[in-house]
Each structure stands twice: as C-alpha cells, then as structure tokens.
Structure 1
Amino acid sequence: MARDLPWQTALTWLRQGWTDLMTNPLPSLIYGVGVYLVSVLVVWLLFRLELDYALFPALAGFMVIGPLVANGLYVKSRNLEKGRETSLAEMLFVRPRSFVSTSFMGVILLMLFLLWNRAAVLLWALFFGVRPFPGIDEILPWLFTTPQGWALIVIGGAVGALFAAFSFAISVFAVPMLLEERTDALSALGISMAMVWNNLSVMIAWGAIVLGLFLVCIATGLLGLILVFPLLGHGTWHAYRALRPADRAEGDEPERVFISLA
C-alpha cells in the first residue's frame, strides 16, 4: 500500500514510540534490559570461544533478527491502541496468530543472518588471505592504515548495506503482520518488502533513524539497548499501523503478495 507519507512522518513514529514506552514504562524497560543482557552474553561468548572475528557481522546482523525479538513490544503498543494495559508476562509469552508461520519466519531470518556472517568471512579471506583472525586490537589498525583495509571497508560496507537494506525491507513489517494477521511467513516477507518499496522516502528515513540509534547503542557498549530497543520496537508498530491500517489487517483471508502487491 502506497500512503505517500512525507519523510518527516518517521519522526512522528519515533515520538509515538516514546509515548508508548513512557506509558507504564517498567515492562518495556525490563524488556530492554533483557535484550541488553542477552546481547552482552553473546559478545562475551564470541570472545570466550575465540570467535571474535564474527563480532562485527554479529552486531550488524542483530538488525536482521531485531524485529522478531521485538514481538512483545508490538503487543504492548497494540494493547495501548485498545486502551488496555500489558503485563510483562504478556510481552514475554507472545501468542501470534500463526505459531508455525512465526517460527518459519525465525528460521528464514536466522539463515539470512548466517549468510551475512559467511559473506563477511569470505570478504576477509579475499583481502587478507586464509590466515587466523589477529584479534580486534590488531585488526583496527589494519583496517584504517592499509590499502587492503580501506578496500575492505568500502567493499564490505557496500555488501553489508545490501544485506541490511534487504533484511530491513523483508522483516520490518513481516513480524508485526504475523502477530496481527492471518497470513504465512513468505507472504508476510513479500508484503513487507512491497510496503517498504511503495513508501520509500519515509522508510529510508525510518531506516536511518534505526541505524543511527543502533550506532549509539554500540558506542555505549550496548547499554543504550535498554532504552533504544523498546523505543524502536514501539515505533515500528506505529509505522506498521500507518502503512497498513487496522481495517486492512483484520481480513479473514491471508493476502498473497505474489498475486497482489500491498
């Protein structure tokens, strides 16, 4: 569905997300603390298992699975629309309209995340050869002081941007759609991409906001996730509602993107 919204609408979604966050904020903040703790645990395990070469792809790939993790935040925003309060238990134990489709969605996003990581390893081998990863302390000077490092930054950034754009387009609305509508995972992915494509200016602005705030989280040692993740989760629900209103989402039959674009 093309709504022809100006790019500034993305700022409205962010404000609406903040309003939802500040309405009974404790469950949302606890949710954010949980995401932060799991993220720190994953980073620690990467270093502990000497898989630190996967740190940068893992941080970038977090944006792939982020919408799936935010399911409980969508539930709270949906309940606020209906004037209902939401407990932490309701946010943690989400019951989507189709558990099978949601699980399949998780598998698809996980495979995309693993593919992104593999692409990063191949790029490393292309520029630096088949050699052990020297560690974060040594790789940073290589990246910024050698021609190979500069080339890796440029080409790796371009490849990462393609992965990020594709991942964002297929997942940003697919997960809330499966929570709210009767549809299957593949249709949800396709409809999400169509919604992003048909509303490109405002979705580029929203994607830039998501990226900017995620970089803030990295700069704060992931501590910013406690506030930023719930904020973006609630804001994404309002983006979904703006581009796919409730009366469109309440149909009884699943919509097949391969037949008709959203």
Structure 2
Amino acid sequence: MLSQNNAPPPDNPHAGGVIPKVVPPLARPSSHARDLPWRTAFTWLRAGWRDLWTHPLPSLIYGLGVFLVSVAVVWFLFHLNFDYALFPALAGFMVVGPLIAGGLYEKSRRLEAGEPVGLGPMLFVRLRSGGAGVFMGVMLLGLFLLWMRAAVLIYALFFGMVAFPGTEEIVPMLLLTPTGWALLLVASAVGALFAAFSFAISVFAFPMLLTERTDALSALGISMAMVWNNLGVMIAWGAIVVVLFVLCLLTAGLGLILVFPLLGHATWHCYRAIRSDDAAAHEDDRMFIRPA
C-alpha cells in the first residue's frame, strides 16, 4: 500500500491510470472561401468585357501583340525544324498566359482606382512586390519546359525513338491509329494535370504581386489556396478559359486579339472577388515578406 507521502499529486492528469481525452481542434473557416456560385464566372466575364471596351485601344493593341508574338514563335519552330514542339507549345501557352497578361491586370486596376489608362503603363508594369515577378516568371517558364519535355517523352513511349514525321503526317497518325488514340488519351491526361496545377498556382499570383508586397512563393501558394477553397466557381472559370482558348486555335490564333484581353481583364475581377482587402493585409499569409 502506498503511503500518503507517495500518493500521486491530485493535479496529475494521469493519476490512477486515467488518460485525458484528446480533443481535436475545431475546424476554422478558410479566409479564402467566398461561397460563390459557379455562375459568378460569367459575371467576371461581363466585367472583363466592360473593361475591354473602356478605352479599348490599349487592350486591343496588347492582344494584337500577343497574337504577333505567337505567330513569330510558330514560324521559328518551323524554320528551325522544331515543328514537333508545336502542339506541346500551344498547350503550354496556358501555363505562361497569366504572366503575359500582367498589363491587362494593370489596366483593370487603374480603371478600378480611377487612374489614367494608357499603353505605356500596361507594357511597363510596376509591381508592388518588385523583383518577385521575375522569380515567378522563371518558375512558370520552368514548368513550361517541364511540360515540353514530358510531351516529348510521351511521344517516344508510343512511337519509339524515331524522327518526328512532320505535321502533315502526325495528324493522321494521331487520329486514325490505335497508337495515336492511346497517345492522345495519355497526353491529354498528363497535360490536364499540368494545366490544372499551373492554373491553380498562377491565376491569382501575378495580380497579387501587382497589388501586394509579398514574395513569389507566397503568391503561388496563396493562389492555390484561393482556387482550392472556391473550387466550384474556379472550375467553371477554368472551363471558360479553355473553351475560349480552343476557339482562338480554331481561328488560327486571330481570336487572341480579342479573347486574350477579355480573359486578362476578367481574371482581375475574379481576383478582386476572392481576395478580400482584409486577407490581403493579413501577415500570416506570407512566407518571407511582411506587408510594409
């Protein structure tokens, strides 16, 4: 029998062999969740259309520039006998698209703030985050190159280590042979994963660098959190982007002159609808840089 001096203290939770219950922490609502219906995506599209036709010339020139650069890239691919990279490059355009649209975000921001709008500020955007935009561009470019390499490997897995037959022969090979069907299925699945990941990390990252003092890694991570916590409406928005991009391809890229500015302006309104001012000022969201 234990003496009174050897008895466990009364405030010991393990006295008598009793283990206290472990109560899990209560789930906290995410600061990024907005509970927006999927139809809100069309509201953003209408707002982007309104911004496009408010002082339309800079936006249309911007879209024309994107179209001309795209044509130049395609010409160089054929001229340098890199035509095998054409289809992956077209698909990979959606990876770097949010970065290219920086000037369109700036125009929408200026319209919202009542500041003057012009082509100069759209071409020479001053980010509040400074050089973080360069770092983010390098990361997205790396993701684009990774997708290009994955596409080449997928082709080699199905057709072997043989030379690319050319665009005239590759289309019948893809559409009229079982091997081509299998390649399209696998490449579409892998490409969809790349597209979904790049969309999630980049769709809000550049607008965040434009308006907030933060670092690139934080912007990419917060962008993914914003997409994940508003998944329904963001899936709808992503579907709209894909459909409009396919329409651009069907017009040999000419649709980019109108569609690219439209999507850029609409993405700004998407960002403003989900990224509240309170969340933007919250220090815990940042990994490295604190707001000034």
For normalisation by structure 1, the TM-score amounts to 0.96
Match of 1:152 among 183, 197, 200: 183
What SS class does the counterpart of residue 132 from structure 2 fall into?
helix
The whole-number CA distance in structure 2 between the counterparts of 1:139 and 1:5 is 43
Q: CA RMSD in A?
A: 1.3
1:245, distance to aligned residue in structure 2 (A)? 2.3
Deviations 1:142-170 (A, max 9, x none): 00111110000111100000000001000
Q: How far 1:255 sits from its partner (Å)?
A: 2.5
Letter in 1 for 2:89: A
1:114 matches 2:145: yes
Check the 8 A contact 1:46/1:54 in 2, yes or no.
Answer: yes
Q: CA 1:252–1:201 in 2, change beyond 3 Å: closer, same or farther?
A: closer
Q: Is 1:125 the equivalent of 2:163?
A: no
- Aligned residue identity for 1:255: D
Q: Which has the higher helix share?
A: 1
The number of equivalent residue pairs is: 257
Aligned to 1:4: 35
Query: What is the match of residue 55 of structure 1?
Result: 86
Q: Distance in 2 between matches of 1:14 and 1:244?
A: 17
Distance 2:277 2:47 in 1: 17
Name the structure 1 match of 2:52.
Answer: 21
Rounded to whole Å, the distance in 2 between the matches of 1:85 and 1:231 is: 19
Matches within 5 A, 1:38-77: 38-77=69-108
Say yes or no: does 1:242 pair with 2:247. no
Structure with greater contact order relative to length (CA < 8 Å, sep ≥ 6) = 1
Q: Which residue of 1 aligns with 2:285?
A: 255
Q: How does 1:151-190 map to 2 (within 5 A)?
A: 151-190=182-221
Unaligned stretches of 5+ residues in structure 1: none
Instruction: Measure the CA separation in 1 of the matches of 2:268 and 2:208.
Output: 10
State the match for 2:121 in structure 1. Answer: 90
Q: Using the alignment, how far apart are the partners of 2:137 and 2:270 within structure 1?
A: 21
The CA deviation at 1:85 is 2.5
Q: Mark the structure with the bigger radius of gyration.
A: 2
Q: Give the ranges of 4+ consecutive aligned residues of structure 1 lying more than 4 Å apart after TM superposition.
A: none
Residue 116 to residue 150, structure 1, CA distance change in 2 (3 Å): same
Contact 1:181 1:254 in 2 (8 A): no
Whether the aligned pair in 1 keeps the contact of 2:215 and 2:287 (CA below 8 Å) is: no
Whole-Å separation in 1 of the counterparts to 2:165 and 2:260: 32
> What letter matches 1:256 in structure 2?
R
Distance 1:213 1:133 in 2: 29
Tell me the TM-score normalized by structure 2: 0.86
Q: Please, which runs of 5 or more residues in structure 2 have no aligned partner?
A: 1-31
**Deviation readout 1:228-247 (Å, 9 max, x if unpaired):** 00000000000000000234
Inter-partner Cα distance in structure 2 for 1:226 and 1:26? 11
- Provide the rounded CA distance (Å) in 1 between the counterparts of 2:287 and 2:183: 37
Shift of 1:98: 2.2
Instruction: Name the CA distance, whole Å, in 2 between partners of 1:169 and 1:253.
Output: 22
Deviation (angstroms), 1:254: 7.2
1:143 aligns with 2:174: yes
Q: Contact conserved, 1:73 with 1:234, CA < 8 A, in 2?
A: yes
The yes-or-no answer on 1:204 pairing with 2:238 is no
Alpha-carbon distance in structure 2 between the residues aligned to 1:165 and 1:222: 22
Opposite residue 207 of structure 1, the aligned amino acid is G
Report the CA distance between 1:97 and its aligned residue.
Answer: 1.2
Q: Give the percent of matched residue pairs that are identical in Structure 1 and Structure 2.
A: 71
